[in-house]
Amino acid sequence: MFKKLFGSLTGDNKQENQNYEAQTSNNNYEDDNNYQETEYDPKTLHGTHYDVEDFDNEVAARAEAWIADERANGENLDEKDIQNIYFNYRRAVYTEWNNCDSDQMIRFEHANSLKYSGIQTSGFVKVDDNNPFLEPVHGVDLRTYTAMCLKISAGIDYLEVCKAMGFEPIIWEELNTIWPQRMGEDTSFTVTTLFGQYYAENVTVPQLENLKAEISEEGAANLERIRTDRYFYEELAGARQAAYEYGIDGAQWILDNFGINLADFQSVAMQWMTEQNQNWNSEDIMEFTNYQQEKQKEYAAKFAAEQGGNIADDVNF
Amino acid sequence: MFGLFKKEKEESLPDWYCELQESQERWFSFLEKLETKMEEFATAAIPELKQILEEDDDLYKRTFQKVYSGVNGQLNNIREKARDTFEEKILDTYQNINSQVSVLSKYYGLISDFRTVCSDRYHRGFEDKYEYWRKQIEKTQERDLEIEYQKILDEFESIKDKFSCKQCGGNITIEKIFLIETYISCPYCKTQNTFAPSTQGRNLQSIARGLAEQRTAHLQEAYEIENEKERALYHQRHELSLSTIHETDKKILSEINAKMDELEEQRQSAIQNAPKLYHTYLRAMYDEWNKITPDLKEHNEKMYQNQLKYK
Amino acid sequence: MEEKKVNSFLDKLKANAKKQSNYGGELEITQAQMNVRDCPNCGAGRAKQDGVTHCAYCGFEFITVQLTDGVYIKKEDNSI
């Protein structure tokens, strides 16, 4: 189905969806002397050595054959089963045709989540110009609405925000009803994911630029640190979890102890999640998950000590 | 299997068997103590939680939420202690001894028995108790939403005729429970007044779905029962089919097969019925919801369609 | 002894939960209110038929955005 990998030999590293001649052999990789790394299209993450159409056709061919087999054996397949079958064959074909590891396969899945599963993934949002879910509400688009939400979550009075935007609180209440409704109605999660993306980018609009939430010097320094130091972010995320487990309002605790407000914290959380999706690496993910859990245990011990210990402390093996 | 070894057991049990027995006893006793703690704690916490919910004036019941989280936090702490100990003490011991003893040893079976017995005591005994107490604690969240709804209706009745236009003083009757701020024009001078609902009135949105579900809970239960019926019938039929394995009597076999066919027919019928019951429940729930907050009907209908498609 | 520990833990949990302020502060419970906003420029009121975005007399901009059909607001509420 695809030619030998050429890479830079042909001098066309950036070609997308070239129509290469079909070859059925998979022996290309045994040719160690001429082995080239697979090149991926930056948008679709498909290998550039094959046609996306061929890929989709191969997946469909295998999936339909399996489906026909199952049906011939009397199995009843519903919509979900069929989607699942396609999903699994897509993974198989991608991995075979690109000889890649599962991290690359997952990055590919994220980049194409809208096309193949109908659901958006943060960091890879595809936006259509005419999406009715993204029509401005009372002249306020999603980006502007997010900017308002950020200010309000940071602690700025919503009346101040309305004044700066040049409209009455009634308008804000309608925005704050309708945009969440759109998020619920959109089964592709475009509105929700885009909102998350804007939140991560800490978007602002000219009208709101002069409204700044109060932040202490220490808070500003800590905020900068969680933005750049992933370990420090994970430590605070773990601490926050531990706080809830001990009956403490985690968001307030973070504000009291580190000077960071909830909007800023969540914005940074979204940033890290988006980056993780874009550069999916299961080893890193495991490392950070373990680190967060470790920190959660540490802070939990501190909170427990403040409560006189856990109730089961005196039970031992 | 143990019957065969009985004689040898009495004569020469390996040393490691004592270690296993001791570990098992300690494990059982440890889990029992943890279970006692869970029971003690949950029993004390549940009435407290109920009282806190009553007394919590906050619209979002945040004091209750915090205590609720803290209570579950302790239950989780106990659960994790059990899990960590299972790995460090039981599985570790099992693996140690397992690697020392040959598979060919006549006592090898004792080792895997040890693991099975300890695992069952944990995964079934302990975990079941944990789930039970979790559920009991969850129940403390229940509020009778009819009472809260009635408060909102009563407040509305008492205020709807009490407003006058800020421009001309003419009487303005509020025609319905508004969920957010809105313009209302005076019927006399046509001036646009701004009406801001009370905090309680605004809260109607947050209890609406819960109330609708409360009112249609019996329909949802009917669906759940039908669903469970399918599984129960499946297992009944499976048991019967196992019983045919050694059966040679033709008459009995034919009776069993007839019974199996009957069960399968019932099971297929349950498979057909369950979705219908679900649709009945869903439509009824949304209908109730629309009665409580008719202003949200357009949005709710879209959500209903989505839920139908993606169930 | 055991019971004491459980009770004291619960007491501390309750006390802390009541003491700690919640993020976003205390929620004010408000009553329903009716208000009117006169034009800060010329003092005129807003009549329904003139829309709510601009003052019908002096053109002052109450609302700078274009209204669309919303929950209760309709696009007809835009002043011409």
Of C56, C13, C22, the C-alpha closest to C38 is: C56
Of A38, A100, A109, the C-alpha closest to A278 is: A109
Start-to-end Cα distance in chain B:
49
Do B245 and B257 fall within a single domain? yes
| Mean pLDDT, range B35-50, rounded to an integer | 97
Q: What is the DSSP code string of A5-22?
A: P-GGGGT-TT--S--PPP
User: For residue B116, what are the domain limits?
Assistant: 2-142
Q: What is the DSSP code string of A32-88?
A: GGG--PPPB-TTT--BTTS-HHHHHHHHHHHHHHHHHHHHHTT----HHHHHHHHHH
Over its length of 317 residues, how does chain A's per-residue pLDDT go in tens digits? Answer: 443 333 333 434 333 333 333 333 444 444 455 566 889 999 999 999 999 999 999 999 999 999 999 999 988 888 889 999 999 999 999 999 999 999 999 999 999 999 999 999 988 898 888 999 999 999 999 999 999 999 999 989 999 999 999 999 999 999 999 999 999 999 999 999 999 999 999 999 999 999 999 899 999 999 999 999 999 999 999 999 999 999 999 999 999 999 999 999 999 999 999 999 999 999 999 999 999 999 999 999 999 999 889 999 999 99
- Lowest average pLDDT, out of A19-28, B267-276, C49-58, goes to A19-28
Which other chains touch chain A, taking contact as 3+ CB pairs less than 8 Å apart? B, C
Identify from A133, A137, A138 which residue to disrupt to test chain C contact, counting C C-beta atoms within 10 A and taking the largest count.
A138
Among B119, B142, B165, residue at a domain's last position: B142
Do B125 and B79 fall within a single domain? yes
| Mean pLDDT, range B187-211, rounded to an integer | 95
Is the CB of residue C18 less than 8 Å from the CB of residue C34?
A: no
Tokens of A127: 């936006």
Tokens of A282: 């299961």
Residue A109: C-alpha distances to residues A44, A64, A116, A288, B292 (Å): 9, 21, 8, 22, 42
Q: Which residue of B26, B62, B181 is in closest CB contact with A169?
A: B181
pLDDT of residue A9: 38
pLDDT of residue A21: 36
- The Cα–Cα gap between A263 and A196 comes to 12
Q: Which residue of B67, B71, B85 is in closest CB contact with A317?
A: B85
Cβ distance C66 to A138 less than 8 Å, yes or no, reads: yes
Do B100 and B13 fall within a single domain? yes
Q: What is the DSSP code string of A153-202?
A: HTT--HHHHHHHHTS-HHHHHHHHHHHHHHHHH-TT-HHHHHHHHHHHHT
Helix A169-185 and helix B297-310: axis angle, to 10°? 20
Confidence of residue B6 (pLDDT cuts 50, 70, 90): low
Burial pattern C24-57, b for ≥16 Cβ within 10 A else e, equals beeeeeeebebeeeebeeeeebbbbebbbbbbbe
Among B94, B117, B142, residue at a domain's last position: B142
Do B52 and B161 fall within a single domain? no
Which residues from chain A sit within 8 angstroms of residue C71, using beta carbons?
A: 174, 177-178
Is the CB of residue C47 less than 8 Å from the CB of residue B112?
A: no
Residues 6+ apart with CB under 8 A from B233: B263, B264, B266, B267, B270
Which residues from chain C sit within 8 angstroms of residue A139, using beta carbons?
A: 65-68
| Mean pLDDT, range B55-80, rounded to an integer | 95
Q: What is the DSSP code string of B192-226?
A: EEEEE--HHHHTHHHHHHHHHHHHTHHHHHHHHHH
Q: What total number of domains does chain B contain?
A: 3
Confidence of residue B2 (pLDDT cuts 50, 70, 90): low
- The Cα–Cα gap between A51 and A44 comes to 11
| Mean pLDDT, range C31-55, rounded to an integer | 91
Do B150 and B129 fall within a single domain? no
The residues that bridge with B185 in the sheet, in sequence order, are B192
| Statement: residue B207 has pLDDT above 90 | yes
Which residues from chain A sit within 8 angstroms of residue B299, using beta carbons?
A: 181, 184-185
The verdict on B238 touching A (C-beta cutoff 8 Å) is no
pLDDT of residue A15: 37
pLDDT of residue B111: 92
Do B162 and B238 fall within a single domain? no
Do B241 and B121 fall within a single domain? no
Which residues from chain B sit within 8 angstroms of residue C45, using beta carbons?
A: 167, 189, 191-192
pLDDT of residue B15: 85
* Residue recorded with tokens 């205390």: C26
Do B103 and B30 fall within a single domain? yes
Query: What mean pLDDT value characterizes chain B?
Result: 92
- The Cα–Cα gap between C9 and A309 comes to 8
* Residue recorded with tokens 């919503």: A158
Among B142, B167, B189, residue at a domain's last position: B142
| Mean pLDDT, range C54-75, rounded to an integer | 93
Do B165 and B35 fall within a single domain? no
The verdict on B102 touching A (C-beta cutoff 8 Å) is no
Tokens of B291: 């009665």
Which other chains touch chain B, taking contact as 3+ CB pairs less than 8 Å apart? A, C
Do B123 and B10 fall within a single domain? yes
- The Cα–Cα gap between B57 and B198 comes to 15
SS3 category, B69: helix
Is the CB of residue A225 less than 8 Å from the CB of residue A232?
A: yes
Report percent pLDDT > 90 for chain B.
84
Do B239 and B261 fall within a single domain? yes
Do B152 and B196 fall within a single domain? yes
pLDDT of residue A34: 53
pLDDT of residue A196: 94
